[in-house]
A and B are shown apart, each in its own frame.
Chain A
Amino acid sequence: MWIDILQDAFFAAIAAIGFSCISNPPRNSYCYCAFIAAVGHSIRYVLLNNEWLPIHIILSSTIAAFVIGLLAVYLAPHAKCPAETCLYPALLPMIPGIYAYRTVAALLLCLYHPEETLFGHYFYLLAYNGFTCIFIVLGMVIGATIPIFLFKNTSFQATR
């Protein structure tokens, strides 16, 4: 379990660094992005995969994003950059890309199979994956943004 958690944190950190560099962040923010992404993603991993009380992916993502938001607001003044600079790249590894891909795939299969039974099945997959994807993104962003609005003074004075 510990190795799985560490592996999840490690790959989340690499994903955060790689995706953040696309958005041209300040150099000193890379390590903060990696740390926050690693903590956030491993929290989601534990919430999803623990044996005692596995939590649904939407709620897990929201809780993990809230922790990411808190960390970003706390660390932004140390990094001397806006909280979003640490927050958004750290959220990117949690973007539910596979659900988005499955939604597109199900949409194509719907169009490919006009027979009612198969169409109904693929339409179910389309709706299930689509709704899951939308609500994960919503939960993530709302969870991550709440700390910024709760601690406005800290968030918006980080670059002072």
Chain B
Amino acid sequence: MNSMICKPTESSVYLPSIKELCIFLSDYAAGLLGCGATCIRIEKNITRISLFFGYDSEMTIMPSHIHLTIWNKEHTDSYSIIRRMHKTGISFDMNTKLSKLSWEIADGKIGFQEATLLAERIYHTSSVNPRVVLFLASCANASFCRLFGGDFISMGVVFIATLVGYYIKQIMLEDGADVRFVFFCSAFFSSVIGAGGHIFGWGTTPEIALGTSVLYLIPGIPYINSVSDMLDGHYICAFSRFMNAIVLTACLSTGLCGGLFLMGLGCF
């Protein structure tokens, strides 16, 4: 891969100092970590950019920090930074744009200063319209119900349960509530609505409606990322991502249990 990267010539490209590159790359890596990129992708992108500018990079990816050191080729000078990851939430769009940026730098299409400006713009990319996400997530969970064998009435119950639960999640997160408490509340309200099938005898598959009503909260991407990191040998990061996902799953399970007990379905 390295042989395929264009090398800059001093006359044509602004060569950043070790410190400048280290600041840029630590921010870049923190952005990638924050948007849910796997460790192998973060390492590859950082190595690609640093090699292009003629520097070596060494990096430790911690659960919520990046520890990056940039060396010159002779290993006589270095600069290290520990940077906290950006709290952007999972964003494949940002992951894609940052990965593209690394190739644009490595192929010599853009210079260092332009890349710094572009990266800043990418860190502040706006996300999908929350109302669209709300509707699509509700449709997705209703489809999920169908995949598990639910009938159309159960799909309707799940759609409403998801709509309400996800809306609560969105407004609580906007207000800056703790994410674990948000998961608890969303699961609680979704399960209360999902229990409607049981209480009122709607449809033939109320159990599937109840079970599916909270599944939109399962943190699937962190689970998948943790196994991917484990396969690549990043055990600390894998364990951290796994534990984060477990904590969120425990919170949603507690919310689900609370909803079931409230609706008198404690014994299922």
Contact = CB atoms under 8 A, between A and B. Distances in A.
Contact of B90 (A24, A144, A148): A24
B227 A145 contact: yes
Contacts, number: 164
Contacts of A25: 92-93, 96
Contacts of B94: 24
Contacts of A98: 148, 208, 211-212
Contact of B91 (A15, A23, A80, A158): A23
B99 interface: yes
Given A21-B137, A141-B227, A157-B103, 16 more contacts: A21-B132, A24-B89, A29-B96, A41-B147, A88-B224, A91-B224, A95-B223, A98-B208, A100-B249, A101-B211, A105-B268, A108-B260, A141-B223, A159-B100, A160-B103, A160-B107
B221 interface: yes
Contacts of A23: 36, 90-92, 221
B137 to A, nearest CB: 5
Interface string B210-223: 01101110101101
A112 B267 contact: yes
Interface of A: 7-8, 11-12, 14-26, 29, 41, 80-82, 84-85, 88-89, 91-93, 95, 97-98, 100-102, 104-105, 108-109, 112, 137-138, 140-142, 144-145, 148-149, 153, 156-160
Given A24-B90, A84-B95, A153-B1, A18 B138 contact: yes
Interface string B89-114: 11111111101101100010000000
- Nearest 8 pairs of A and B residues by beta carbon: A18-B140, A141-B227, A97-B215, A101-B211, A25-B92, A11-B143, A24-B91, A14-B143
Contacts of A29: 92, 96
Contact of B147 (A11, A24, A100, A101): A11
7 contacts: A8-B147, A15-B143, A17-B136, A18-B138, A81-B96, A88-B220, A149-B231
A12 B90 contact: no
Nearest to A148: B228
Interface string B128-145: 100011001111110110
A80 B249 CA distance: 33
A61 B1 CA distance: 33
A99 to B, nearest CB: 10
A156 B268 contact: no
Nearest to B4: A157
Interface in B240-268: 249, 253, 256-257, 260, 266-268
A97 B145 CA distance: 10
A21 B133 contact: yes
Contacts of B224: 88, 91, 140-141, 144
Contacts of B231: 142, 145, 149
A85 B96 contact: yes
Nearest to B139: A18
Contact of A88 (B1, B148, B221): B221
Contacts of A12: 143, 147
Interface in B136-190: 136-141, 143-144, 146-148
A21 B136 contact: yes
A85 B97 CA distance: 11
Interface in B1-53: 1, 36-38, 41, 44
